Structure 1
């Protein structure tokens, strides 16, 4: 029902690009106050401009989620500006696919700090301010449960997000706050028209995913009337992780 999120304050990390931008658009269309947190200031302000031109309400907060102080400042500024946090979408992340024996400890830590530690810090601080009915949604990945070579840092971070999600759900259930994650598969954020037929046919849904597919799931999990799904990971991948593949 349109207007269900009217006046709700939604924080979306990594909201200036890709999946995050699609999530921001969906909540803006539902009349929420959209707080885009991203370290890309140019694209963040452009995203806000586009949302406002479409009639939405959005604010940009420059935030590098790999830095704890940035996350703390983000939460404080949103509370100062709007007095409430209803929904947090922990979406920001980086990937670094590099041969195992060339991947340094510092590079591994950078991915894990950005993708996983930020979810812990952001969720902890947002939950302190959330009232009963708050919603936390963490964007994980199907790479939490399946891998290609040279993906150790990214897989570790996304697998950690899935586990952290149900741990947070357990700790926050007395507060009436639900915590769920979404594991996207192949989500094409640019040049969708350039995909090949065989790309689409790898999926049981017969198409590659797009940011709107993830945004719809966020709206479902954030629904104020939806409090029975909690601590879960929702896989959205067109059936890819269920597809049995034999090589001849």
Structure 2
């Protein structure tokens, strides 16, 4: 009998790539997403690829939505084998002094409470045959850039929830794992697909010399839900091209901060930062090189 997977946030990005990979492995794929237009697009895309798929509009922060979604899935297929808790939203980037309680609640309710709700209702049917729950966390659970408090807290909570669920659900032969992706370029899996705008700096700072792709995460999910991973439960897998072992993401802000420390002069570092930005945008870099040579000779 065909196995059945639910992918929350499955219309775009990492979730869509996971659904596609599982579908090609023979799973029925339920796309649970709050974006109705994108969900219908992805449903048609999957069906065009021969994947048994259907879309259910679902806000994972709504208990009623989640309950209704799970009942529809079971009513259609009579089983649930895999749940991928992927749905999540980002953050405003505002400082903690400017963040609102509404923003905090919105992020936590979607990213963390949504994982708990979907697991709670899916287990009702998953326990009939056993199965696997995969929770998509983030490397932000372990390290942060400034002003990411709601998002980082939600992703850290997912990892803790993962090992708690793994212990509680083991009696039903349900394995639970989490995955923490790093920087993933989701351009090709947006609706509609778009071209990547990443730079050589973006790719080159990774140990693997490239930013991740949704397919990288999908490959790991496919392994973790397979029988080959039957001895794995309760743990987190980091997939980030080696970035977290470097402990730094390089961009113009990091360069400027480093120059400020090097020269102990904020104005000089700011001027060099502006020069870098101008060079990046310039069409005639040979002219800039000539002027820089003249400047260096005059010093």
Give the alignment's TM-score, normalised by structure 2. 0.78
Bigger relative contact order (CA 8 A; separation at least 6): 1
Matched, 1:165 2:168: no
Q: CA–CA distance in 1 between the matches of 2:98 and 2:199?
A: 33
Matched, 1:92 2:95: no
Q: Which among 5, 11, 30 is matched to residue 25 of structure 2?
A: 30
Q: CA–CA distance in 2 between the matches of 1:63 and 1:89?
A: 14
Q: Which among 172, 193, 210 is matched to residue 207 of structure 1?
A: 210
Q: CA–CA distance in 2 between the matches of 1:138 and 1:193?
A: 26
- Structure 1 stretch 94-103 or stretch 189-198: which is displaced more? 189-198
Q: Which among 71, 92, 99 is matched to residue 76 of structure 1?
A: 71
Matched, 1:188 2:185: yes
User: What SS class does the counterpart of residue 101 from structure 1 fall into?
Assistant: coil
CA contact (8 A) 1:133 1:224 kept: no
Q: Report the Cα offset of residue 224 of structure 1.
A: 3.0
CA contact (8 A) 2:185 2:196 kept: no
**Higher helix content, 1 or 2:** 2
Q: Which residue of 2 aligns with 1:230?
A: 233
Q: Report the Cα offset of residue 243 of structure 1.
A: 1.4
User: What SS class does the counterpart of residue 12 from structure 1 fall into?
Assistant: strand
Q: Report the Cα offset of residue 194 of structure 1.
A: 2.6
Superposed CA offset, 1:37-57 (max 9, x none) = 001111101101011111111
CA contact (8 A) 2:135 2:178 kept: yes
User: What SS class does the counterpart of residue 143 from structure 2 fall into?
Assistant: coil
Q: Which among 234, 240, 245 is matched to residue 243 of structure 2?
A: 240
Q: Report the Cα offset of residue 132 of structure 1.
A: 4.2
Superposed CA offset, 1:35-90 (max 9, x none) = 00001111101101011111111000000111111011111110111110000000
User: What SS class does the counterpart of residue 230 from structure 2 fall into?
Assistant: coil
Q: Bigger radius of gyration, 1 or 2?
A: 2
Q: Which among 119, 123, 126 is matched to residue 127 of structure 1?
A: 123
Q: Which residue of 1 aligns with 2:13?
A: 18
Aligned length: 243
User: What SS class does the counterpart of residue 59 from structure 2 fall into?
Assistant: coil
Q: Report the Cα offset of residue 152 of structure 1.
A: 0.5
Superposed CA offset, 1:94-121 (max 9, x none) = 0113211111111101100000001011
- Structure 1 stretch 238-247 or stretch 141-150: which is displaced more? 238-247
Matched, 1:198 2:201: yes
Q: CA–CA distance in 1 between the matches of 2:74 and 2:152?
A: 33
Consecutive unaligned residues in structure 2, runs of 5 or more: 188-193, 249-253, 263-299
The runs of 4+ residues in structure 1 deviating greater than 2 Å are 191-194, 244-248
Q: CA–CA distance in 1 between the matches of 2:28 and 2:236?
A: 26
User: What SS class does the counterpart of residue 97 from structure 2 fall into?
Assistant: helix
Give the alignment's TM-score, normalised by structure 1. 0.94
